[in-house]
């Protein structure tokens, strides 16, 4: 168990003071070429690696940020358990973090106090909010000096913080257009709710598309499931079959797949009897029977951009709050047909 080599070891080895070594490493003050070479050589020879903890203490910068994820209430487990969306998002974040020498820690805590402690205790440089959180949390965070980037948040916070989101409105729009252009006029809208930032925008686009095609939005065909579970989709599938709608746009593939399951189990067929469009383009969606027409979003990329934005902000390359809206595209598969 060899003692870890410190900056002092390097200094002694190179025959200079620790300050000089530090200056060489950080390039913040001029050092003669000759000395610099000696120091570099020493670092090389001793396999020196600055201790982040010490750096952090002294610079008050940790090269580390936190990721906040909603909890599922009853279990207190983070919502990303078994959720492709989150795992892909984090994957994107990990990718650019690593490239930039940052690390991140994850917490499901949404208690404002706990959360503030987390940030100060760990000396976090920044915070990434994935999804929407209780109002109080945003309030609390405002008093912190941490840099914050939001992902998929309400517009009202966009003035304060960076906000990375998909073009959800466009997504709802192209999904509805697709159905309308295929001759459908009785089109249902299916979502967990209509008051969360995402579904709200998707509904707006949906509405606009119908308007443009001179189709009126029938409130009876707005189905809200409460959550995004497969089973909820199944239940809505049942209700859909009791309505007169011939098509549906669901704001998540899981819901759409649940609906399809219900439809099939009751001797109806997709797309023969009902045309279904989803949202997300999960991996399974291309493998379901029939494969699912859906609005594709590049979640990995979204995570990557969110992380990059945060890092830029921390390093003050990114001046002020800015909203980035990423494109979505329609992937036409076999779950929709011409009426």
Partner DNA sequence: TGAAATAAGTTAACCGTTTAACCGGAGGGG
Partner DNA sequence: CCCCTCCGGTTAAACGGTTAACTTATTTCA
Which DSSP string corresponds to 259-284?
HHHHHHHTT--TTTT-EEEEEE--GG
Segment interacting with a second copy (CB under 8 A) among 32-40, 51-59, 163-171, 311-319? 51-59
Site string for DNA, 3-42 (x = CB under 7 A): -x-xxx------xxxxxxxxx-xx-xxxxx-xxx------
Q: How far is the CB of 69 from a second copy (least distance, A)?
A: 8
Which one of DNA, a second copy, none interacts with residue 339, CB within 5 to 8 A by kind? none
Site string for a second copy, 215-244 (x = CB under 8 A): ---------------x--------------
Site string for DNA, 154-183 (x = CB under 7 A): ------------------------------
Which sign, positive or negative, has the C-alpha torsion 90, 93, 97, 98?
positive
Question: Does residue number 70 form part of the binding site for a second copy (CB under 8 A)?
Answer: no
Segment interacting with a second copy (CB under 8 A) among 9-17, 119-127, 160-168, 204-212? 119-127
**For a second copy, how many residues bind (rule: CB under 8 A)?**
53
Q: How far is the CB of 154 from a second copy (least distance, A)?
A: 25
Contact (Cβ atoms closer than 8 angstroms) between residue 312 and residue 105: no
Segment 56-85, which members bind DNA (CB under 7 A)? 57-60
Q: How far is the CB of 18 from DNA (least distance, A)?
A: 5
Please report the beta strands in the chain, taking only residues with DSSP state E, as ranges in sequence order.
Answer: 64-68, 103-107, 126-130, 147-151, 162-166, 187-191, 222-224, 247-250, 275-280, 293-296, 323-326, 329-331
Could you tell me the strand order of the sheet in which 329-331 lies? 222-224, 187-191, 247-250, 275-280, 293-296, 329-331
Contact (Cβ atoms closer than 8 angstroms) between residue 31 and residue 39: yes
Measured CA to CA, the distance from residue 45 to residue 13 in angstroms comes to 9
Cα Dmax for the chain: 85
Q: How far is the CB of 43 from DNA (least distance, A)?
A: 10
Which one of a second copy, DNA, none interacts with residue 94, CB within 5 to 8 A by kind? a second copy
How far is the CA of 267 from the CAs of 188, 264, 272, in angstroms?
20, 5, 11
- Give me the residues that bind a second copy (CB under 8 A), please: 1, 4, 49-54, 56-57, 62, 64, 76-78, 80-84, 86-88, 90-92, 94-95, 98, 103-109, 117, 120-123, 145, 230, 257-258, 261, 264, 282-284, 287, 289, 300
């Amino acid at each position: 168990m060899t003692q870890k080599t410190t900056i002092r070891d390097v200094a002694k080895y190179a025959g200079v003071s620790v300050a000089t070594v530090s200056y060489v490493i950080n390039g913040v003050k001029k050092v003669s070429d000759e000395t610099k070479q000696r120091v570099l050589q020493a670092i090389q020879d001793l396999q020196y690696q600055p201790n982040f903890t010490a750096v952090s203490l002294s610079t008050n910068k940790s090269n580390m940020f936190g990721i906040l994820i909603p909890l599922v209430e009853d279990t207190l487990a983070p919502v990303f358990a078994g959720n492709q969306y989150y795992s892909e998002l984090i994957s994107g974040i990990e990718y650019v973090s690593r490239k930039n020498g940052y690390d991140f820690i994850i917490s499901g805590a949404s208690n404002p106090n706990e959360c503030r402690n987390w940030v100060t205790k760990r000396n976090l440089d920044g915070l990434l909010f994935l999804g929407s959180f209780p109002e109080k949390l945003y309030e609390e965070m405002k008093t912190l000096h941490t840099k914050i980037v939001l992902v998929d948040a309400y517009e009202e916070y966009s003035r304060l913080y960076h906000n990375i989101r998909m073009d959800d409105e466009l997504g709802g729009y192209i999904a509805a257009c697709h159905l309308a252009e295929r001759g459908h006029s009785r089109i249902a809208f299916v979502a967990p709710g209509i008051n969360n930032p995402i579904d709200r925008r998707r509904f707006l686009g949906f509405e606009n598309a119908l308007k443009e095609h001179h189709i009126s939005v029938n409130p009876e065909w707005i189905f809200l499931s409460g959550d995004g579970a497969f089973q909820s989709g199944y239940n809505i599938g049942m209700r859909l079959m009791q309505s007169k709608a011939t098509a549906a746009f669901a704001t998540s593939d899981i819901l759409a797949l649940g609906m399809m399951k219900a439809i099939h189990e009751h001797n109806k067929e997709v797309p023969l009897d009902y045309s279904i469009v989803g949202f997300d383009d999960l991996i399974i969606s291309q493998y379901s029977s029939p494969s699912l027409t859906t609005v594709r979003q590049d979640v990995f990329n979204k995570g990557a951009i969110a992380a990059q934005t945060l890092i830029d902000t921390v390093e003050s390359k990114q001046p002020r709050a800015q909203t980035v809206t990423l494109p979505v595209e329609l992937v036409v598969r076999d779950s929709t047909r011409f009426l």
